[in-house]
Structure 1
Amino acid sequence: MTYALVTGASSGIGAEFARQLAARGHDLVLVARSGPALETLAATLRQAHGVRAEVLVQDLSAPDAATRVADEVAARGIAVELLVNNAGFGTAGHFARIAPEREHEELMVNVVALVGLTHAFLPGMLARGSGGVVNVGSTAGFNVAPYFATYASSKTFVLNFSLALWSELRGTGVKVLAVAPGPVETPFFDRIGSRQAAIGARLATPELVVATALRAFDRDRGYVVPGRGNLGMAHLMPRRPRKLLALIGRRVTRQVADALTPSPGPG
């Protein structure tokens, strides 16, 4: 049995990936920390599309999370044909005032689990000569982002990692796509602790992001930036001097940091 496995499937972009993949006829493994939300979504997808939908509850910040997921999938006799590494979260504010434990969890989910799951399921795809990996990044990954230092850097990793694999795997039948959305109408900003993190941007919908991503995956595009308004952020700003970008970014994003944590003073 071949399935699509979606992490962070309990809400937002992950839940929308599950819905659109089910509409395409994919059987699913839904992974997140929230069992009740996953069970509700799985029941809805089974009824609406007649697909199999397995629920796997796992906190991806755990050191052995990828191994646990892979072992459980194998125990259920499931082969993962499409891996959607969507799970992730962000931190924002003055770096020195963000809890180190929270940033560690962020990197475990955004980077370590993503790589671990790709390691776990890619060999099977290569053996079958088909399948793929979709990694959800961010336009933040194209730029230097003061006050979002850890989050943006983790998304830079996602972009570069994905494109490196995309290049490595050309001709194997296995595709890799990095999706780099700008601000999206999901619980992301509430979890950061400030809606100001969107900085006045027009929020995209999960439906648009996922539909754009799946079209790009079908065409083996390597990466895609959903929404025309994000093209400048992704393709023009990175060509400017990086130190200048860091200074410009500081002026733009400091309002978010100051709203989250009291400023330590000038500088």
Structure 2
Amino acid sequence: MKTALVTGASRGIGRALATELAQRGYNLLLVARSADVLAQLATELSAAHKVQAQVLGTDLAEPGAAGRVAEWASSQASDLAVVINNAGYGLWGRFEELPLTDQQNMLQLNMLVPVELTHHLLPLLRQQPKAYVLNVASTAAYQAVPTLSLYAASKAFLLTFSRGLRYELRGTPVSVTCLSPGATNTDFPNRAGMNADLQATANKFGMTPEDVARIGITAMLAGEAEVIPGALNKISATLTSFVPKAVTEKIAAGLYEKHLK
């Protein structure tokens, strides 16, 4: 039996990813800020799927947190075969109006933590017959999104990093996949500070976290480079390659700017 590390595992897609892995027989190392929520999840998954689940409650945005998580993971599981970089969030609003510190914290969690954690754990992953890194980005990675400018940029970074690292690791036991969900029925809009209208739209058109997780884990284990769950999301992301950037930016702005106060 192999072990998987999942960050941001307490809710939403992270929780669904942990559940999907447990269903497939993976022992779990679960990381998020909410230690009590993680503990409850670990208990539920252990009982339901006969796997071991360890938890670490920590704020990954804090300096040095990724190194501490890597040290903990290495001490817990010499058979670590999966690292899922899911922790992250968005901030909605005009760049110049959002507090700079808040935006810097978001960039730290969305970009630098996956880089640091992957760098720390790659030596351990290389020791396995087969191992995987799954980075959770977003369909926002495929275009600029006014009022979510830095969030989209951070996810574009994660997508590009994933593909570059994947190529570097060709011929090794480690495969890298980037999962880019579209709208998903999670608390992302609320965490990003979006208003109720945008939350309702996301809930109406969003996929379930469980479907996203199932598609993502299946693609990861199949060794795919990137995966976009949902036919409409795939079409939308593909079209951005053919439509002028000014057009896609205007469309995105029309969806989000009109809801700003």
Length-normalised TM-score, structure 2: 0.93
- The equivalent residue for 1:238 is 241
Task: Report the CA distance between 1:6 and its aligned residue.
Answer: 0.2
Q: What is residue 187 of structure 2 aligned with on the other side?
A: 187
Could you tell me which residue of structure 2 aligns to residue 96 of structure 1?
A: 96
Q: Does 1:30 align with 2:33?
A: no
1:153-172 matches, within 5 Å, as 153-172=153-172
Is contact 2:134–2:178 with CA below 8 Å preserved after alignment? yes
User: Alpha-carbon deviation of 1:77?
Assistant: 5.0
Letter in 2 for 1:82: V
How much does 1:187 deviate?
A: 1.1
In the alignment, structure 1 residue 123 sits paired with structure 2 residue 123: yes
Q: Which residue of 1 aligns with 2:223?
A: 220
* Separation (CA, whole Å) in 1 of partners of 2:87 and 2:257: 26
Moved over 6 A (4+): none
C-alpha deviations, 1:137-185, integer Å up to 9, x for none?
Answer: 0000101100000100000011111111222222212111100110100
Q: In structure 2, the residue corresponding to 1:118 is in which secondary structure?
A: helix
Taking a change above 3 Å as real, the CA distance of residues 77 and 200 of structure 1, as seen in their structure-2 partners, is closer
User: Helix, strand or coil for the counterpart of 2:132?
Assistant: strand
- Contact kept? 2:3, 2:77, Cα under 8 Å: no
CA contact (8 A) 1:32 1:57 kept: yes
Which shifted more, 86-95 or 195-204? 195-204
Judge which range, 186-195 or 34-43, deviates more. 186-195
Q: How does 1:237-256 map to 2 (within 5 A)?
A: 237-256=240-259
Q: Which amino acid aligns with 1:252?
A: L
CA contact (8 A) 2:177 2:223 kept: yes
Shift of 1:189: 1.1
| Residue of structure 1 equivalent to 2:55 | 55
Q: Deviations over 1:198-231 (max 9, x none)?
A: 6835110011101111111122110000001111
Shift of 1:243: 3.2
* Superposed displacement of residue 94, structure 1: 1.3
Distance (Å, rounded) in 2 between the aligned partners of 1:193 and 1:55: 28
Letter in 2 for 1:200: T
Measured against aligned partners, the alpha-carbon deviations of 1:17-37 in whole angstroms (never above 9, x if no partner) come to: 111101111000000000110
Residues 1:150 and 2:165 aligned together = no
2:49 and 2:117 map into 1 onto residues whose CA distance is 26
Deviations 1:33-75 (A, max 9, x none): 0011000000001111111100011101112111110122233
Q: Secondary structure at the match of 1:29?
A: strand
Letter in 2 for 1:227: G
What is the percentage of aligned positions where both structures have the same residue? 38
C-alpha distance in structure 1 between counterparts of 2:76 and 2:112, whole Å = 24
The CA distance in 1 between the partners of 2:199 and 2:167, in whole Å, is 32
How big is the shift at 1:7?
0.3
**Counterparts of 1:75 and 1:215 in 2: how far apart (Å)?**
28
Aligned partner of residue 200 in structure 1, secondary structure: helix
Distance in 2, Cα, partners of 1:196 & 1:69? 37
- Distance in 2 (alpha carbons) for counterparts of 1:130 and 1:121: 14
**Of 150-159 and 67-76, the range deviating more from structure 2:** 67-76
- Alignment of 1:138 with 2:141, yes or no, is no
Structure 2 unmatched ranges of 5 or more: none
Q: Secondary structure at the match of 1:135?
A: strand
Question: TM-score if structure 1 supplies the norm length?
Answer: 0.91
Preserved CA contact (<8 Å) 1:129 1:172: no
Q: For 1:209 and 1:17, locate their aligned partners in 2 and report how far apart those are by CA, in whole Å.
A: 8
Q: CA deviation at 1:250?
A: 2.1
Match of 1:81 in 2: 81
Contact persistence 2:81–2:131 (CA under 8 A):
yes
Structure 1 unaligned regions, length at least 5 = 263-267
Q: Which residue of 1 aligns with 2:201?
A: 200
Q: What code does the residue aligned with 2:141 have?
A: G
